[in-house]
Copies of this chain bind each other. A is one copy, B any other.
Amino acid sequence: MLLMEKTVRDLSEDELLASFLPLLPRGRNTEVPTGDDAAVIAAPDGRYVVTTDVLVEDRHFRRHWGSAEDVGWRAAAQNLADVAAMGAVPTSLVISLVLPPQTPVAWVQGFARGLAQLCEPVGVGVDGGDLSSGAQIVAAVTAHGTLQGRAPVLRSTARPGDVLAHAGVLGHAAAGYALLNEAGDTGPETEAVLADLGVEAATATMFRRVFLRPDPPLQAGPAAAMAGASAMMDVSDGLLRDAGRLARASRSLIDLSSAALAPAVTALEPVSVPLGLSALDWVLSGGEDHGLLATFPPGTAVPPPFRPLGTVSAAGSGGHAHGAVLLDGTTPDVARPGWDHFAG
């Protein structure tokens, strides 16, 4: 039997490790690499940022929707976005991977390749990990980064009068998710469903790709910090929900401008119109895009790729308590403001 045809149950743990360790990316900040009880990572400015995120099969991804490479990419991307959202440059990951015994070895190798595709070009290493068997695939990634001597950019430090700006895409992953739900991944059946709906195949591919392989604007995080951003966060649970968190942490309000959101809405219409869904709902509530939301003091030149989306106001303006997110001054009317992991 070829290695590619085996499942993880067919190998010893050492054989399984040997099948994918050479595929993992090496980091520029790694002093002692994986293989000992712990790795040693450089922290030249005397501190590091750390964040963790978990992907669960059938909750965050379905194996038949995309490749193992997609899942590896996405597991890293959502964590590196959190590092960038502090204004830091990502340096290092560690990963705990739970695998059902019948998982193909080829899937594990693909997962490692997907990690490397995202991480290697930005100098991030996989510097540790653990393997276990379990009922479903679980990939728990912890990411680290360096602030390069800068202060971290928090969520809690936006000030009334600041400009709210965003880098990355909005609602693309939601559109891709809707397409995967509606028409599946690829193949003749999917093509037929898309043709019936009137969604172009190339358009469908683009949006599905954002859901399967989100591409956070990693360099925009440090760029925002250097430009003087007053607050920043990753948008993973939807614009309204995450802007609300920033507003609440900063004890202020956020007012979004529908004119500023219009290009994002228009970009989604080639999917939302055929599916009979609301592009504005996706822009406001769609999660998993992993763009960055930052605030800049008035008069700051907002650094590209950030684009202004609204303003920060004082709590109490218009009778709204801190934490409120408004659209053109009023409470936006959306069905479902982001999603919750446990509740309905």
Contacts and interface: CB of A to CB of B under 8 A. Distances in A.
Given A38-B152, A50-B127, A132-B341, 12 more contacts: A9-B342, A36-B152, A38-B49, A40-B50, A41-B48, A44-B46, A52-B95, A53-B130, A54-B96, A59-B134, A130-B140, A136-B136
A251 interface: no
Interface string A205-245: 00000000000000000000000000011100000000000
A341 B232 CA distance: 41
A328 interface: no
Given A56-B132, A341-B133, A43 B46 contact: yes
Counting contact residues on chain A (CB < 8 A from B), the size range is 35 or more
B342 A37 contact: no
Copies in the complex: 2
A142 interface: yes
Interface of A: 8-13, 16, 31-32, 35-44, 46-56, 59-60, 81-83, 85-86, 88, 92, 94-99, 101, 127-136, 138, 140, 142-145, 147, 152, 154-156, 232-234, 249, 340-343
A155 B37 contact: yes
A211 B49 CA distance: 33
Nearest to A92: B50
A10 B130 CA distance: 32
A50 B101 CA distance: 27
B36 A129 contact: no
A249 B29 CA distance: 23
Contacts of A233: 36-37
Contacts of A132: 54-56, 59-60, 341
A97 B127 CA distance: 21
B128 A12 contact: no
Contacts of A340: 12-13
8 contacts: A9-B342, A11-B342, A12-B340, A12-B342, A37-B85, A38-B51, A50-B94, A51-B94
